[in-house]
Amino acid sequence: MITARLGLRARLYLASAAILMLFAFNVGTHLWGSYARSESVMAYRIATEGTALVRSIQQGLATEYQRVQVLAALRETNAPIRIAQREQANAELSEISDQLRALGGLSDIETEAAFRDFYKFASTLLDEWVRFYRDYNDNSVPSRLDARLYGDATDSLQALADQQNSVALERSTIIDNTIQLTDRITIIGFVSSITITLILILTLIRTTNASLFRLRVGVERFGAGDLTHRIDENRDSGEIANLAQTFNEMSASLQRAMADLTDARAEAEAANETKSMFLANVSHELRTPLNAIIGYSEMLQDELSDGETLDRDQFHHDLTTIIFSGRQLLTLINDILDLSKIETGKMSVSYEPVNVAGLVVQVCDALSPLLAQNKNQLELDVVGAQNATMRSDAAKIQQILTNLFSNACKFTKNGVIKVTAHIDDAALRLSVQDNGIGMTEEQQSKVFQAFVQADSNTSVNYGGTGLGLAIVSSFCDMLGGSVTLSSAPGEGSRFEVSLPVVQE
């Protein structure tokens, strides 16, 4: 429906304009009827005045005609007329002339020709009578009275009167018909105005109620929690369409907020689960070296208390195990402290001259026991960084390489660990490659996240806390570099670190 496509304000304007037009039509019809009635009254008045003048002129002409005939007969007897009688007669003739002019003023186009004919005869007759009275006492002037002239004048006057009556009757009929027509139009217009006004009001109420009903249903659906419901805003326009659009946008915003809240809750639950797993892993990792330190320390204490000769090789082996376990424990604690500093923004970078090749060799020598644990071999290539010195943070580079090397040794058995270092294009390239278990693409997407390992079985089978690669990624970012990973299940992994350098 057209009204449904209009805004509420437009509907009100349209209905008001239609009602005003109907009102104006009724007022115009009433004014037209009033004008017709006024014209009818005017025509009746003119017809009445014309009839009265015709009668008066007829009576005046008849009276003067009889008087003139009597005086004409008396003149034959030489009976004079008095001056007073003559003046009275002239006054009466002058009055008839005035009535003739008044009757001419009441004439119009339809009666003008008849009036002219009558006026020609009447004025000639009056002039003849004026001369008759003027020369009445002068016997030398013969009396010239035309008997036919009075008959022509009265006949033309009667014709004028008949025509005036006919025109008045015709106009009265037309005006009466007009009045009847205006009365009918007024009644029809009044009834039509009421009917159309009621139709407009009912249509406005129905369309507005339909629009408001859709809004109410939408709001009820929103209130019931159905945020996927949308109000059909295309069925309306104007203010109601804007209101529906606002409700839809509000529902979409609430839906997005609820989705974000659900995602945030899931992330929080996942983070909580990850933290719980991390705490379990850390507890296990802490207990393992501590148990080794305590156990071997108690064994050495027992051997010393026995008073027997010490097996120096065994004693040296036990001390080596204690030292290695202590270093493992220290490394774990350092990783936790470093990650804490990184997350709180308290980790700083200290630039100093670094001998790249010497640093790489030193780290690999220090971690050589890790190679022996899983019977791995080391391939070291530092030719590209030989005799090269740069300014960077040596401790962070050392920890990056240590973590990468430790991971390679942990996940590789009877394999080869290849470490390379070279400088090109003002960048240090460190690469640690193994031919161990490798990783899937899904596992690769998670290994650089804190507290996260490749999968849940990694900690059980290989140990660790999932902090090493997260620290590597954070240190690379702090030094302005990056770390990349390429791996495939069963084919090993390759970590490549790129750090910007300033040549010494």
Per residue in 68-87, pLDDT tens?
A: 888 777 777 777 778 888 88
pLDDT (0 to 100) of residue 249: 75
Average pLDDT over residues 115-122: 82
* Partner residues linked to 431 by β-bridges: 420, 496
CA 9/CA 273 separation, integer angstroms: 57
Mean pLDDT is lowest, of 273-287, 288-302, 309-323, 490-504, for 273-287
Instruction: Tell me which residue of 444, 433, 435, 485 sits closest to 453, measured CA to CA.
Output: 444
What pLDDT shows up at residue 8?
62
**Residue 90 pLDDT exceeds 80:** yes
CA 133 to CA 359: how far, in whole Å?
162
Residues 379/408, Cβ–Cβ less than 8 Å: no
What is the average per-residue pLDDT within 110-123? Answer: 82
Q: What is the mean pLDDT of the chain?
A: 77
Give the residue among 487, 478, 11, 465 at the shortest CA–CA distance from 238. Answer: 11
Where in the chain do CATH 1.10.287.130 domains reside?
227-347
CA triplet 100, 106, 109: central angle to 5 degrees?
A: 110
- Residue that is written with structure tokens 């071999």 in the block: 377
- Give the domain 227-347 fold: Helix Hairpins (1.10.287)
pLDDT of residue 431: 92
CATH architecture of 3-210: Up-down Bundle (1.20)
Please report where in the chains the tokens 């195990």 appear, as a residue: 321
In this structure, how many other beta carbons lie within 10 angstroms of the beta carbon of residue 48?
Answer: 11
Residue type, 383: V
pLDDT at res. 399: 86
pTM: 0.45
Taking only the tens place, the pLDDT of each residue in 259-278 is 888 888 887 777 666 666 66
Q: What mean pLDDT comes out for the span 55-76?
A: 81
Q: What is the mean pLDDT of residues 444-456?
A: 69
CATH class of 348-500: alpha beta
Tell me the per-residue pLDDT of 25-34, one tens digit each, with 9 for 90 and over.
Answer: 777 777 777 7
Note the pLDDT of residue 287: 66
Tokens 């709180």, located at residue: 344
CATH 1.20.120.30 intervals, the chain = 3-210
pLDDT one-digit tens code per residue, 307-329: 666 677 777 777 777 877 777 67
Q: How far apart are CA 331 and CA 366, in angstroms?
A: 13
Could you report the per-residue pLDDT of 360-373, keeping only the tens digit for each?
Answer: 888 888 888 888 88
Among left, alpha and beta (phi > 0; psi -120 to 50; other), residue 225 is left
Percent of the chain with pLDDT over 90: 4
**Residue spans in the chain of domains classed CATH 3.30.565.10:** 348-500
Cα–Cα distance measured from residue 355 to residue 392, given in angstroms and rounded to the nearest whole number: 10
Asked if pLDDT for residue 239 goes beyond 70, the answer is: no
Region 166-185: mean pLDDT is: 76
d(CA 433, CA 436): 9
Beta strands in 138-232 (DSSP E): none
Does the pLDDT of residue 462 top 70, yes or no? no
The pLDDT value given to residue 395: 85
Q: What is the average pLDDT across 113-124?
A: 83
Place of tokens 């109000």: 231
436 pLDDT higher than 80: yes
Per-residue H/E/C for 381-426: ECHHHCCCEEEECHHHHHHHHHHHHHHHHHCCCCCEEEEEEEEECC
Least confident stretch, 111-115, 191-195, 338-342, 385-389: 338-342
Tell me the HSE value of 64 on the side-chain side, using a 13 A CA sphere: 30
Query: For residue 436, what is the DSSP state?
Result: S
The pLDDT value recorded for residue 1 is 47
Q: Which residues contact 189 (CB under 8 A, 6 or more apart)?
A: 22, 25, 26, 29
